[in-house]
Amino acid sequence: MKYLLISNPVAGKNSKKKTKKIASYLSSFGAEVSIETTLYKGSATNLAAQAYSRKVDAVIVLSGDGTISEAINGMAGIDVPIGIIPVGTANVFAGELGISENIYKAADVILRGKEKRISLGVINGTYFMLMASCGFDAEVVSSINLKLKSKIGKLAYIASAAAVLRRYNFPEVNVCIDQRREYKGSLVVISNAKYYAGKFVMAPHASTDDKFLDVCIFTKRGRGQMLRYLWGLFTKRHHKYKDVVYVKARHVRMSSVEKVNVQVDGDPFCRLPADVSVVPKILRVFCP
Ligand SMILES: [Mg+2]
C-alpha cells in the first residue's frame, strides 16, 4: 500500500513526534508512506489533489476537521479513499464516523481497509463534510482569537461566543428550500453530519449516506432567543421547538440584506448569499 500522509503540524493535538510515530507504525505493516506537511491555508487541498498523479492508494489526513475539509476539496471526484487520524481540537468528523482519537486505533481502521462512500455538501462550489451555517455561530467562528485557541482549545470558542452575544444584532436571513419553501431565520445550520461543535447533536436525523442535507432554521432573533436555542442544543431538544424548522433538503439558498457571515466545517468561509446543495456518495472514506 502506498499512502500520502498529510500532516498539519499546528493542529490542536498534533506534533512532529506523532507524525513520525504514525508513519513508522503504518510502515511496520509494509506500507510505503510519504509525509507532506501543510504550510498555508488551503495547502491540504493542493496536496490531496496530487493523490492521483502520485499514484497513491489512499490519502491520510493527520489533523483536525479544518484540514480534512481542505483535503476533501482536492479529492472529491478522484477515486482514492481518505483515511482520518484525528488530532485536532474537536474532531467532529472522526466522531461522526466512529473513528477513535487514539491514533493507533485510527491507523488500524485505515490498515484494515474497510471503506464506505459518503455524501458531501457543496456551498458556492466548495465541498464540506460537516456543516455550513450562517448567523451567530459563524460570527463566533470568525471572531475567534486564534492565539487563544492554540493555548486553551475549545474554551476559546466560549470566550468568543460570550463576546459576540453581547454585540451581535442577529440580522434576518432569508432561506429558500428546494426552490419552493421560504423561511426567515437568524441562525441557519445546514448539516451533512449529525454532530456539531464537538459532541452536540445539531441534526439528529442527518445521515452522510443519504441524498439530503438536514437544515435547522432558528427563526427568532435576539440574544434571549439565542440563549434559549443554545440551551435547546445542549439538552437535545432544539429540533422539537415550535420556532425551529427542521427539514431535509437537496438545495438551500440563503441571503440577507445585511452582512451575514458564513462558516463551513468550523472555519470562516464567506458572507451571504450562499447556495448549498448535496452530492450523494462522492467520497470514499475508511471507516471502522
Ligand atoms: Mg444527509
| CA of 34 relative to ligand 1 center, distance in Å | 33
Residue for grid cell 429540533: 239
Q: pLDDT band at residue 149, thresholds of 50, 70 and 90? A: confident
For residue 195, the model assigns a pLDDT of 95
Q: What angle do CA 267, 79, 100 make, to 5 degrees?
A: 55
CA of 164 to the centre of ligand 1 (A): 30
Q: How far is the CA of 165 from the centre of ligand 1 (A)?
A: 30
> How far apart are the CA of 194 and the centre of ligand 1, in A?
9
pLDDT digits (tens, 9 = 90+) for 205-253: 999 999 999 999 999 999 999 999 999 999 999 999 999 999 999 999 9
pLDDT surpassing 90 at residue 87: yes
CA of 97 to the centre of ligand 1 (A): 13
Compute CA 33 distance to the chain's CA centroid, rounded to the nearest angstrom.
26
Ion ligand 1 contact residues with beta carbon within 5 A: 207, 210, 212
Task: For residue 159, report the distance from its CA to the centre of ligand 1, in Å.
Answer: 31
What is the rounded CA–CA span in Å between residue 200 and residue 157?
Answer: 14
Question: What's the pLDDT tens digit per position in 164-195?
Answer: 999 999 999 999 999 999 999 999 999 999 99
Mean pLDDT, the chain, integer = 95
The answer to whether the CB of 131 falls within 8 A of the CB of 190 is yes
CA angle, 36 then 94 then 162, to 5°: 100
- Expressed in angstroms and rounded, the spacing between residue 170 Cα and the centre of ligand 1 is 27
pLDDT tens for 23-45 read 999 999 999 999 999 989 999 99
φ and ψ at 80, to 5 degrees? -130, 135
Dihedral, 211, 94, 244, 225 alpha carbons, nearest 10: -160
pLDDT digits (tens, 9 = 90+) for 41-56: 999 999 999 998 999 9
Question: Domains (ranges, CATH) in the chain?
Answer: 2-113 (3.40.50.10330), 126-279 (2.60.200.40)
The band of 90, judged by pLDDT with boundaries at 50, 70 and 90, is confident
How many angstroms does the Cα of residue 174 sit away from the middle of ligand 1? 22
Quote the DSSP letter at residue 24.
H
Distances (CA, A) of 261 to 73, 226, 235: 21, 16, 26
Answer yes or no: are the C-beta atoms of 38 and 7 closer than 8 Å.
Answer: yes
Q: What is the DSSP letter of 123?
A: E
Q: How far, in Å, is the centroid of ligand 1 from the Cα of 126?
A: 17
Q: How far is the CA of 16 from the centre of ligand 1 (A)?
A: 35
231 Cα: distance to centroid of ligand 1 (angstroms): 25
Please enumerate in sequence order all residues whose Cβ is within 8 A of that of 244, keeping only pairs 6 or more positions apart, or say none: 216, 217, 218, 219, 229, 232, 238
At a CB cut-off of 8 Å and minimum separation 6, what does 40 contact?
Answer: none
Compute CA 218 distance to the chain's CA centroid, rounded to the nearest angstrom. Answer: 20
Cα 193 to ligand 1 centroid, rounded to whole Å: 7
| Nearest residue to 258 via CA among 175, 169, 167, 177 | 169
